[in-house]
Amino acid sequence: MAKERSVEDIRAELAETRAKLRVSIGDFQESVKPRNVLKAGVEDVKQFAQAEAQEAKKQFVDTDGNLRTQRVLAIAGAVVGVAALFITVNALVSRRAVASPKGRKALEAK
């Protein structure tokens, strides 16, 4: 059967529980202050950015620290291709605007 506790034992346990609760509430209050929430958020963003930068770097640099030229050239080629596509589409749209009757009238009015 359970040991009976004295009034003093109960009071001591209550005092200990109150002290722990006071500390927990104090810690909670500190953690929800806007300044501390902002600091934690900024720290999380910094860590995320650093991790993402490392992952991006791994795409272009091998484990020995040498540049992966094939991958760099492939991406550069893709960028040049997209730029060429944009320039071509822009030229076709401009040519079409000039060739249409409405486009000619708009240009002549200016």
User: Residue 96: inside a domain, yes or no?
Assistant: yes
Q: How far is CA 74 from the centre of its chain?
A: 26
User: Residue 60: inside a domain, yes or no?
Assistant: no
User: Residue 95: inside a domain, yes or no?
Assistant: yes
Nearest of 9, 85, 49, 92 to residue 57 by alpha carbon: 49
- Provide the whole-model pTM: 0.45
pLDDT the model gives residue 101: 63
Q: Is the per-residue pLDDT at 46 higher than 90?
A: yes
User: By percentage, how much of the chain surpasses pLDDT 90?
Assistant: 60
pLDDT the model gives residue 64: 85
User: Residue 109: inside a domain, yes or no?
Assistant: yes
Question: Which domain does 81 fall in, by range?
Answer: 68-110
User: Residue 77: inside a domain, yes or no?
Assistant: yes
Q: Cβ contacts of residue 104 below 8 Å, gap of 6+?
A: 98
Q: Is the per-residue pLDDT at 110 higher than 80?
A: no
Average confidence score pLDDT of the chain: 87
pLDDT the model gives residue 3: 78
DSSP the chain: -PPPPPHHHHHHHHHHHHHHHHHHHHHHHHHTSHHHHHHHHHHHHHHHHHHHHHHHHHHHB-TTS-B-HHHHHHHHHHHHHHHHHHHHHHHHHHHHHHHSHHHHHHHHH-
The CA-based angle 25-46-72, given to 5 degrees, is 155
User: Residue 31: inside a domain, yes or no?
Assistant: no
User: By percentage, how much of the chain surpasses pLDDT 70?
Assistant: 85
Mean pLDDT across 58-82: 89
- The total number of structural domains in the chain stands at 1
User: Residue 105: inside a domain, yes or no?
Assistant: yes
User: Residue 50: inside a domain, yes or no?
Assistant: no
